[in-house]
Amino acid sequence: MNKTLIALATSFALLAAGTATAQVGKAASEATDSAKHKIDEKRADSEAKKSGPVGKAVNNVKSGYHKNRSKASADKAKQSLKNAG
């Protein structure tokens, strides 16, 4: 009976460790996406400064999009880390 309980507890512990690892991996992926969007946001800001009126409008929209996506990805990364812990 005790051996069965130990085996069952070990199985649950390994399952929980695998889930935590997956959550950390997901958090890392979301953090990478957030960083990429932040870079694209800065690039669009830079291009807006060099552009004419239409280019400014287009690049400002791009910048806003990437800013929102960056924040969403960062929030998802934080939530994944909370879920892993």
In the predicted structure, residue 4 carries a pLDDT above the cut 70: no
pTM over 0.85: no
What is the predicted pLDDT for the residue at 84?
79
The one-letter amino acid code at 55 reads: G
> Tokens in use for 29?
């992926």
Q: What is the pLDDT of residues 18-70, one digit of tens each?
A: 666 777 888 888 999 999 999 999 999 999 999 999 999 999 999 999 999 99
Q: Domain of 58?
A: 2-84
Structural domain count of the chain: 1
